[in-house]
Amino acid sequence: MEQSISVFREQEFAIPLPTDLADLAREARKLIIDMAATPTGCHIGGSLSAIDLLVTALAKYGHDEHSTVILSKGHAAAALYAALYVHGKLPSNPAESYGRQGSLYTGHPNHKLPGIPFATGSLGHGVAYAAGWALAQQLQGTRGLGIVIGGDGELQEGLIWETAQIVQARSLSNFIYIVDCNGGQNDGYVEDISPIRNLRERFEAFGFAVREIDGHRHDAIFNALTPDSEKPLAVLALTVKGKGVAALEGNPDAHYAKIPANLAKRWKVTLS
Amino acid sequence: MTTLLSGRDAYKDELAKLAETEQRIICLEADLGGKNHPFQIRHPKRFVNLGIAELAGVDIAAGLAEAGYVPFISTFAAFAALRASESVKLSMGYMAKNVKLVAPYGGVSGGWFGTTHHALEDIAVIQSFQNIRIACPHGEEETRRVIREAAASSEPYYIRLSRNDAFDSMPRSSDISCKDLLVEEREKDFRARLCLISVGEQATELCKTLTEEYEDVAHAHACYIDSQSLKAYVEPLKALADRFLVVEEHRATGGTASYLALLMPEHSVYSHDSGEQWPTYGGTHAEVLADLGFGLEPLREQIVSLLGGPNGI
């Protein structure tokens, strides 16, 4: 699935691939599993599919004051909290209070936390917000990027395409839209509910450059997150719902789970 | 002689002026700003017609605000408050991003354009979101002042305007904010049998006219009607009268009268509003209002009734 990508702006964004991404992602997966073992449980399937994307995007751009990384598929909040925590951006372990009374670690991202400028969860809004950030950077003449990670089910929202229309009209080549293509959504498979066909062609028709990658290979993600020289960029990341936990992988029923502590312990030991 | 501008034209002109010195101001339109937009002419790099995309537009404005801009985004009230409602709730209400949403075509000012272009529910919707300043300025000068106040504030704003009606604003001292209740002058310590509270342009014009007819009726014009502002009006209102009639081009449900009634349970608060019917027919702004039972004659009748009938005056 992976294809060659434009490297026109590679020098401009020549950030070396960190060597510890696999370790960070493994730690983040453990945290996600811990959040599934809290009294509330969490959206574990989509969190495990998106975690490599989040950890890598934050590694590449999380320290750039002119760039923002937004999780638009906000139900994967556990992944966002875990990724921010392993990158040292959160003051406390999210798994220790996730979903609890008085905790800011709510089931969808909370903008009162550091590293989360925009609360998402109602699907589509994070994409438009990131486009606004990208537009601001374009107007201010910075090199900053608006980077957003959304779901493939989320593409059913009209707001996505309303935003894509504006992004291409404004030639926002500093906008990167990563689609976590895990094939699942709340009630089952995307393919069974409302298939998103010809996705590459669809984004290309909206004026995007398109890169298709393995959404769990950190080097592929890292390299793909270099903006195109002229067009907004859609990174179609093929992922596996529940990635890393054999019992969950590819199972649409893994969308949300609340698990006992002993099971969480086993899953963490056997993370693939 | 200078031509009096409508609220929406005053908005565009004032914002273009402000942007001369305030580089953070950016003007967004959703394809309803019209040709020869003064901001576009004077500041083309900071003017963006996003196209017909209200929902995305408000979120994009939030992103611009986060990056340090002061975005003013404008579209008709029906689309601003209803179509883009969720973005307004989240970006402006919950997250309090510094977005100014300017909404012409408030109420039925679209006249013959029909119900799709009318907004008789917008205040109820925006009011329920919390955190958002709501202003319904009357006339050119007050509109200009509200735009200046919005630009200087870090709070999200919903500014409800009309279509093409142009009015002289009621006089207000330059050192008094539009957030303060504006009371038509009466004798010192005057206590009214009834106080009219006007919200919006048509309502304010009606109240100005009828206050002249009844010497024991007071008139207070409320430019801001968000919950915070209404709370601040309670004591000044209590000093004026015990009974109030809110005149507002809006549904009774979620209107200013309903909130004031909750804030002043020991007082009587009545409403002259646009009723419960859908505005089905064409006509001018005033004619459509008349079809809804909102206008000079029905208001006069309501005032007379509240004063105890013809014998009570």
ipTM of this complex: 0.88
pLDDT, tens only, B101-159: 999 999 999 999 999 999 999 999 999 999 999 999 999 999 999 999 999 999 999 99
In angstroms, the separation between the Cα of residue B70 and the nearest Cα of chain A is 11
CATH number of B7-160: 3.40.50.970
Contact at CB, A125 and B90, closer than 8 angstroms: yes
**Chain B CB contacts of A122 below 8 Å:** 86, 90
> Looking at residues A78-82, what average pLDDT do you find?
98
Question: Could you tell me if B275 and B281 are in contact, meaning their C-beta atoms sit under 8 angstroms apart?
Answer: no
Question: Could you tell me if B238 and B267 are in contact, meaning their C-beta atoms sit under 8 angstroms apart?
Answer: yes
Cα distance from N-terminal residue to C-terminal residue, chain B: 41
- pTM across the whole model: 0.93
| Interatomic CA distance for residues B7 and B144, integer angstroms | 8
* Segments making up each domain of chain B, as ranges: 7-160, 182-312
Q: Which residue has the higher pLDDT, B203 or B308?
A: B203
What structural domains does chain A harbor?
21-269 (3.40.50.970)
pLDDT, tens only, B253-267: 999 999 999 999 999
One CATH from 3.50.50.60, 3.40.50.10240, 1.10.490.10, 3.40.50.920 for B182-312: 3.40.50.920
Among the partner-chain residues B55, B62, B95, the one whose CB lies closest to the CB of A132 is B62
**Sequence-separated (6 or more) residues with CB below 8 Å from residue B155:** B96, B98, B131, B132, B133
Identify the band that residue B190 occupies on the pLDDT scale cut at 50, 70 and 90. Answer: confident
Q: Which residue has the tokens 């709370």?
A: B231
**Chain A CB contacts of B83 below 8 Å:** none
Among the partner-chain residues B60, B67, B90, the one whose CB lies closest to the CB of A137 is B67
pLDDT, tens only, A118-168: 999 999 999 999 999 999 999 999 999 999 999 999 999 999 999 999 999
Average pLDDT score, chain B: 96
Residue B273: strand pairing partners: none
Rounded to the nearest 5°, which phi and psi values hold at B29? -130, 150
Nearest CA-CA partner of B144 in B3, B5, B49: B5
Q: Does B29 touch chain A (CB under 8 A)?
A: no
Q: Which residue has the tokens 């453990």?
A: A30
Query: Would B7-160 and B182-312 be classified into the same CATH topology?
Result: yes
Among the partner-chain residues A122, A135, A159, the one whose CB lies closest to the CB of B63 is A135
